[in-house]
A and B are shown apart, each in its own frame.
Chain A
């Protein structure tokens, strides 16, 4: 075994491994990338029901209620980004940091009827955290300017009109 053949073997092994790693990565990317969508984006062009997405927004105050489906408790609540609200159904125990009027990220699929079935609900440890999209959207529509204090209560966003200049 000379140095050259050994190097050849190592190069072949490297190429095989790195190649299969790249192939696996690409394949996994194409089917498993999860896009983040705000409720208004979901309303505007709903993703296909076989596609998992992350839905982020604020839980609308007063929207949380429970449905009992054959003994299994289902949490239902509205998630809003100020433009539109999506009804989310989640079977399970909501995380300890879940609060109405605070931000939430739900992982799941959009049903044909426009509702969202979550397989996982994440609430952020940090209570001031708001998904960047939601914050940007609120700023864009003029409903909230971070320079003037905390975000308004989420229950009012959908009915709020854009603030007057200087207001």
Chain B
């Protein structure tokens, strides 16, 4: 029922359905044939069912230890815990591509189900584009990386998974990150459909924005989770390495953030149309390239676990068709789109334009830093690399004006604003930021951390004060405030939350720039101090886990003689793969992380010493917490009625809020 052959057949069926989903609605839309166009949602849903069945088959193969399936034999083992048998399905190349296409199909299904208010022709075209991309990836899956390949003779046991990937964080990281990547396929499909149609208007902006926001939320969560994963799994005490694979997820996030903002201008003011369409195409193109970078082996990276240059050629062709095709269509059709909304540079639109320019500049810097080394190697044959110092020096100065503008932007009215009037709303926030600056001078060292810290406080204060002003705190009765709170559009709440989240993340980054660490070699019972805390190695003992042997240390941390916590870092030895992994122990009070790693054991008997690495990471949890708050902000604005239904209530709600 759920064997590999059934899964393989379902995958092939889904691929054929996707091809039909690509061809029929496009042809129907051209002929204005409502019946053909109307087939699109049914095709999308049946493709989703077929692919879901196929994915379920692969999971069943892994769960039932069917080692006659090459993919299971190479990545699973009898001794592996059940959770990792399931999550291991997408912890390898073949499975992750299948997951990717499944998520794409889920997006298609979502457009079919939630897109009932779209004009039939537009929905048909959007689904057709999604079907086309889907078909390409399913063909890639079937032709070059078949997850259901059999192996003969079947081995008695599998080779097991890379122990680094045996972690709950990895269970959820790829699906969420992929949903972010793939989710931008929907705005992309909308953009291409709009180009075919030759029409972009406010309604288009209103339809495309929820999809962009949803994808953005997932991508934000995915990046934050990935950063958290490398923080507590890799055990280097770092959270972001400016590694090509990390950059590959940051680049679409930057353009996606720009897209989420520029789509507001399309929706509200019918401006920036061509630009928004281009951003939608660029974001998905970068998402695709991100996959390509990870898979192709062009960029070697600490995170890549599935390098295979042979598949790169197929992916490259796929990229050329999708990106080249959409850009060609853009060049051909974009001039027919015209903007109507006029605005002065000092206005909400102006600030959104500035946001876009700055985000895209940062994006350009990251792209340059990521792509320059491989190109140099290709052209000049010199192996160079750029790392954290480069990216810090090049991107942080561009982030400063972005943070400054974030605080002002939401307080500006549309069309034309008077700076003096706007600033009169921001006195309180500016005061808090000034206090923040003093605090930063006191607590932080370095020009950039201080500037970033103060600006982050400015963003948080300005976003909060903007919402407080709108609900009338301070000049309306409690009853009035409640009324206004109820009528303030959820998208305003969402925007404020997302901006506050960004501020929290930046504060976390500033705190982490002050992190301290020490590497010590100690006997059992010895104490070392780091930044005011005394770390004592109490004991080290060995134990045997399900598929590994471990050495666990007990480290007591005392502050002024008072016990704070006992950390239990481990070093695990996976016998099947003859690999060791480090299990970090972290104690957090949400202000400071105490982070301990146990290293090698040296000597014997009484003279045994252990190498420990001790970190004190101020504000570390804020980095991911901020990401979560950003995503919650996005989700909040998704729940706005205006995002889903037309705009009849919009004017009323706005009038209430402004009253």
Digitize B297-321: 1 where CB-to-A-CB distance is under 8 Å, 0 elsewhere.
Answer: 0001010110100000000000000
Q: Which of A30-38, A77-85, A141-149, A158-166 contacts B (4 or more CB under 8 A)?
A: A30-38
Known: A21-B361, A93-B597, A97-B579. A36 touches B520 (CB 8 A): no
User: In the complex, which residue of chain A has the Cβ closest to the Cβ of B528?
Assistant: A71
Could you tell me if B521 and A13 are in contact, using CB atoms closer than 8 angstroms? no
* Residue in B357, B369, B389 whose beta carbon sits within 8 Å of that of A25 in the complex: B369
Is B345 located at the chain interface by the 8 A CB criterion?
yes
A138 to chain B, nearest CB (A): 16
Beta-carbon nearest neighbor of A56 in chain B: B383
Of the residues B343, B394, B579, contact of A24 by C-beta under 8 Å? B394
Is A28 in contact with chain B by the CB < 8 A criterion?
yes
Cβ contact within 8 Å between A18 and B364 = yes
Contact with B along A11-42 (1 / 0, CB 8 A): 00110011011001101110111111000000
State whether A1 touches B390 (Cβ < 8 A). no
Partner of A73, one of B384, B519, B528: B519
A112 at the interface (CB under 8 A from B): no
* A33 lies within 8 A of B386 (CB): yes
Q: A20-B397, A21-B362, A71-B521 are in contact. Are A93 and B389 (CB under 8 A)?
A: no
C-alpha gap A10/B581 in the complex (Å): 52
How far is the CB of A41 from the nearest CB of chain B, in Å?
Answer: 11
A28 lies within 8 A of B389 (CB):
yes
A32–B389 touching, CB < 8 Å = yes
The answer on a CB contact under 8 Å between A13 and B162 is: no
Number of interface residues of B (CB under 8 A): 53
Q: Are A32 and B390 in contact (CB under 8 A)?
A: yes
Q: Does A20 contact B390, Cβ atoms closer than 8 Å?
A: no
The CA-CA distance from A3 to B342 in the complex, in Å, is 7
The answer to whether A17 touches B386 (Cβ under 8 A) is no
With an 8 A cutoff between CB atoms, is B639 at the interface? no
Contact B307 A126 (CB under 8 A): yes
**B506–chain A nearest beta-carbon distance, Å:** 18
- Expressed in whole angstroms, the Cα–Cα distance for A31 and B369 within the complex equals 13
What are the residues of chain A within 8 A of B30 when measuring CB–CB?
Answer: none
Residues of A within 8 A of B361 (CB): 17-18, 20-21
| B580, CB-defined interface residue at 8 Å | yes
Q: Is the CB of B581 within 8 A of A96?
A: yes
Q: Is B445 an interface residue (CB 8 A)?
A: no
Closest to B602 in A: A66
B519 and A92 form a contact (CB under 8 A):
yes
- Is A72 positioned at the interface, with any CB of B under 8 Å from its CB? yes
CB neighbours of B389 from chain A (8 A):
28, 31-32, 52
User: Beyond A72-B520, A73-B519, A96-B582, is A13–B353 a contact (Cβ under 8 Å)?
Assistant: yes
Most buried by B among A3, A24, A68, A122: A24
B 366-410 binary contact with A (CB < 8 Å = 1; else 0): 001100100000000011111101110111011000000000000
Chain A CB within 8 A of B611 CB: yes
A96-B365 Cα distance, complex, nearest whole Å: 33
A35 to B599, CA, bound (A): 30
Bound complex: CA A163 to CA B499 (Å): 64
CB contacts (< 8 Å) of B608 on chain A: these are none
A6 at the interface (CB under 8 A from B): yes
A126 to B302, CA, bound (A): 9
| B residues 200-240 touching A (CB-CB < 8 Å) | 235
Asked if B386 and A1 sit within 8 Å, CB to CB, the answer is no
Q: Which of B343, B357, B521, B579 contacts A6 (CB 8 A)?
A: B343
Bound together, the chains give a CA A32 to CA B392 distance in angstroms of 10
CA distance A28 to B162 in the complex (A): 36
Q: What 1/0 flags go to B566-592 for Cβ under 8 Å of A? A: 000000000000011110000000000
With contact pairs A17-B398, A72-B520, A96-B581 given, residues A54 and B597 touching in the complex (Cβ less than 8 Å): no
- Indicate if the CB atoms of A27 and B393 lie closer than 8 Å: yes
Interface: A133 (CB within 8 A): yes
Asked if A71 and B343 sit within 8 Å, CB to CB, the answer is no
- Residue in chain A with minimal CB distance to B388: A32
Indicate whether A29 sits within 8 Å of B390 (C-beta atoms), given known contacts A17-B398, A126-B307: yes
Flag if B519 contacts A20 (CB, 8 Å).
no
A91 within 8 A of B: yes
| Interface: A150 (CB within 8 A) | no
Report yes or no: B384 in contact with A36, Cβ–Cβ below 8 A.
yes
Instruction: Report the minimal beta-carbon distance from A100 to chain B, rounded to whole angstroms.
Output: 13
Q: Is the CB of B343 within 8 A of A32?
A: no
B36 to chain A, nearest CB (A): 41
Asked whether B117 is an interface residue with its Cβ less than 8 Å from the other chain, the reply is no
Is B498 positioned at the interface, with any CB of A under 8 Å from its CB?
no
Known contacts A73-B611, A92-B519; A125/B397 CB under 8 A: no
What residue of chain B has the Cβ atom nearest to residue A90's Cβ? Answer: B519
Q: Is B358 interfacial (CB-CB < 8 Å)?
A: yes
Q: Do the beta carbons of A122 and B302 come within 8 Å of each other? A: yes
User: CB within 8 Å of B: which of A72-116?
Assistant: 72-73, 91-94, 96-97, 107
Q: Are A36 and B385 touching (Cβ within 8 A)?
A: yes
Q: Is B516 an interface residue (CB 8 A)?
A: no
Q: How far is the CA of A51 from the CA of B527 in the complex (A)?
A: 36
CA distance A133 to B611 in the complex (A): 32
- Whether, in the assembled complex, B607 has its beta carbon less than 8 Å from a beta carbon of chain A, the answer is no
Residues facing A in B491-535 (CB within 8 A) are 519-521, 528
B613 contacts A by Cβ under 8 Å:
yes
Determine the distance from Cα of A24 to Cα of B233 in the docked complex, in whole angstroms: 33
Interface residues of A in 52-74 (CB under 8 A from B): 52, 54, 66, 68, 71-73
Supposing A6-B343, A13-B354 touch, asked if A32 and B393 sit within 8 A by C-beta, the answer is: yes
B164 at the interface (CB under 8 A from A): yes
Which residues of B are found within 8 Å of A124, using beta-carbon distances? 300
Residue on A nearest B572 in the bound complex, by CB? A96
Given A13-B353, A72-B521, CB of A35 within 8 Å of CB of B384 = yes
Q: Is the CB of B162 within 8 A of A34?
A: no
Which of the listed residues A1, A68, A93, A94 has the most CB atoms from chain B within 10 Å of its own CB? Answer: A93
- Check if A1 sits within 8 Å of B519, measured CB to CB: no
Smallest CB–CB gap between A89 and chain B, Å?
Answer: 13
Can you report 10 A-B residue pairs in the complex whose CB atoms are below 8 A from each other? A6-B344, A9-B345, A10-B353, A13-B354, A21-B365, A35-B384, A66-B602, A72-B521, A92-B613, A93-B611
Other A-B pairs, 14, CB within 8 Å; known A54-B385, A129-B300: A1-B344, A10-B357, A14-B357, A24-B365, A25-B369, A34-B385, A35-B382, A35-B384, A71-B528, A72-B519, A73-B519, A73-B521, A93-B613, A96-B581
Q: 10 shortest A-B CB distances, which residue pairs?
A: A93-B599, A36-B383, A21-B361, A32-B390, A28-B393, A73-B521, A28-B394, A9-B345, A32-B389, A17-B361
Binding site for A on B (CB under 8 A): 162, 164, 235, 300, 302, 304-305, 307, 342-345, 350, 353-354, 357-358, 361-362, 364-365, 368-369, 372, 382-387, 389-391, 393-395, 397-398, 416, 519-521, 528, 579-582, 597, 599-600, 602, 611, 613
